[in-house]
Amino acid sequence: MDHVIRVRGLCTRFGDHIVHEDLDLDVRRGEILGVVGGSGTGKSVLLRQIIGLLDPAEGEIEVLGEPVRDTSPEAFRRLRRRWGVMFQGGALFSSLSVRENVEAPMREQFDLPDEFRETLAAIKVRMVGLPENAMDKRPSELSGGMRKRAGFARAIALDPEIVFLDEPTAGLDPIGAAALDSLVAQLRDALGLTVFLVTHDLDTLHAICDRVAVLAERRVLAIGTLDELRAVDHPWIRDYFGGPRGRAAAGEH
């Protein structure tokens, strides 16, 4: 099995508060992995550690066979080109247009001619289904769903191998959330992406995730398909997937 993310023995502490303890996780190439857990289980913290924004107290993290910690700035810079990130709400630069937001990673990582960079940005914007007239709008002029799509366009700006999505459907109505789920799945297939997706959206898990990792008790308590997780006898997992919302998302009554 080809694993593109490998986490071993991860420990996360904030003062005396322990978030993760001896956490292990493998993410397979080409899969959409959903990461779920109760409030305070450190889902977004784990994402930020994998992409090098936070340092764990202990543990090893490898992405695409390269260490994220204890590596040279230049090696980490090269590695960072190989993934894209969409934080909650899209996290767009409010003072920049959609085009300029999508161009931002290109400006940071490469010295490209202006015209070529603008063309690439236009391609990415079209790939996420935004209309051409959105290119020169600022984030405040866009709907919530359009902002999410613009954030996704920026995440794929450098043709990454992995995309990290933090609560991508949060704040969207059901129709907008379903459309974004469909977009993620389509681009995974078209671009050969691996998707690491932090979510609490049961509909998203059922619609597009190949496997789901459950964070509980400071670790990855269980990981597998939804059918495999429903067979796990643990109170949180039982309540989350077997409760009224979980049954509704699964199409059960």
**Each residue's pLDDT expressed in tens, for the chain with a length of 253 residues:** 689 999 999 999 999 999 999 999 999 999 999 999 998 899 999 999 999 999 999 999 999 999 998 889 899 989 999 999 998 766 788 899 999 999 998 888 888 888 888 899 999 999 999 998 899 999 999 988 899 999 999 999 999 999 999 999 998 999 999 999 999 999 999 999 999 999 999 999 999 999 999 999 999 999 999 999 999 999 999 999 887 776 666 676 5
DSSP H or E stretch at residue 163: strand 162-166
Residue type, 98: V
**What is the DSSP secondary-structure string of 42-89?**
-HHHHHHHHTTSS--SEEEEEETTEESSS--HHHHHHHHTTEEEE-GG
Q: Which of 127, 119, 203 is nearest to 163 (CA)?
A: 127
Per the document, the length of the chain is 253
Structure pTM? 0.93
pLDDT for position 111: 81
Give the whole-angstrom CA distance, residue 154 versus residue 84.
Answer: 8
pLDDT, tens only, 213-230: 999 999 999 999 999 999
DSSP H or E stretch at residue 23: strand 17-28
pLDDT for position 246: 66
Which CATH class name applies to 30-56+72-249?
alpha beta
pLDDT for position 69: 85
pLDDT for position 1: 61
Q: For the chain, what are the domain ranges?
A: 30-56+72-249
pLDDT, tens only, 158-174: 999 999 999 999 989 99
